[in-house]
């Protein structure tokens, strides 16, 4: 029994080592090297094509699924190096798209979630209001481009109503442009909490009687 446990522990250590080495390989492999390796299996992708595809779709998870459905089995079935498998598409998409498109323009829920995580990982009280406004504008774009009108259907793993309350609380420059931003949010989302910005909600409610 002791020998079996020892053997299992050795296998777990080996699996962990292999996982760490795999992650290192993925992070240190250049983007062009990925494209060159994929071409060996007949996958003709490049940075320009990815940017063009994303410009049309503006949803990284949808685009990742498209590439996965089209090319994933080729990599998973034919590749010999574990670092080059169907997970490569998300790695490339994140690298290429993260700084090239603004979330206000795309309304991409994946990148909105990344920005929310970044803000919430620090001291929320010290957050630049412009960074919060970017997220609010992105949520408006998300609703308008995808016909989503429930705030609960926007970003998974977040209580968006609760989060918005905290984000807006630290926004002290409540000028007409900022109030218009909140009014647009109330217009987009049927279930947005009236207590997030009561005076703007009253204005919204009055205009929709």
E strands in 2-88: none
pLDDT of residue 129: 94
CA 151 to chain centre: 16
For the chain, 209 residues long, the average pLDDT of each consecutive 10-residue run is 51 60 76 92 94 96 96 82 82 92 95 92 88 96 96 87 92 94 96 93 79
Number of helical H runs and strand E runs in the chain = 11, 0
CA 19 to chain centre: 24
- Hey, how many other C-beta atoms are within 10 angstroms of the C-beta on 126? 7
Q: Residues, the chain, total?
A: 209
Task: Give helix 88-97 / helix 47-57 axis angle, nearest 10°.
Answer: 80
Which residues are CB-neighbours of 179 under 8 A, at least 6 positions away?
197, 200, 203
């Amino acid at each position: 029994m002791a020998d079996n446990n020892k053997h299992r522990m050795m296998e777990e250590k080996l699996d962990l080592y292999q996982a760490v080495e795999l992650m290192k390989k993925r992070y240190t492999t250049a983007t062009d090297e990925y494209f060159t390796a994929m071409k060996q299996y007949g996958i003709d992708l490049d940075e320009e094509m990815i940017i063009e595809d994303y410009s049309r779709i503006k949803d990284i998870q949808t685009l990742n699924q498209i590439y996965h459905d089209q090319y994933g089995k080729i990599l998973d079935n034919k590749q010999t190096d574990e670092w080059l498998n169907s997970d490569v598409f998300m790695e490339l998409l994140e690298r290429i798209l993260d700084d090239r498109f603004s979330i206000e323009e795309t309304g991409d829920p994946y990148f909105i979630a990344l920005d929310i995580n970044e803000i919430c990982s620090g001291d929320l009280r010290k957050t630049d209001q412009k960074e919060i406004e970017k997220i609010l504008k992105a949520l408006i774009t998300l609703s308008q481009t995808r016909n989503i009108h429930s705030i609960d259907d926007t970003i998974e793993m977040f209580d968006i109503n609760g989060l918005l309350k905290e984000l807006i609380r630290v926004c002290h420059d409540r000028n007409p442009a900022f109030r218009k931003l909140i009014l647009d949010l109330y217009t987009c989302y049927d279930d947005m909490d009236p207590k997030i910005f009561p005076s703007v909600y009253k204005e919204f409610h009055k205009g929709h009687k």
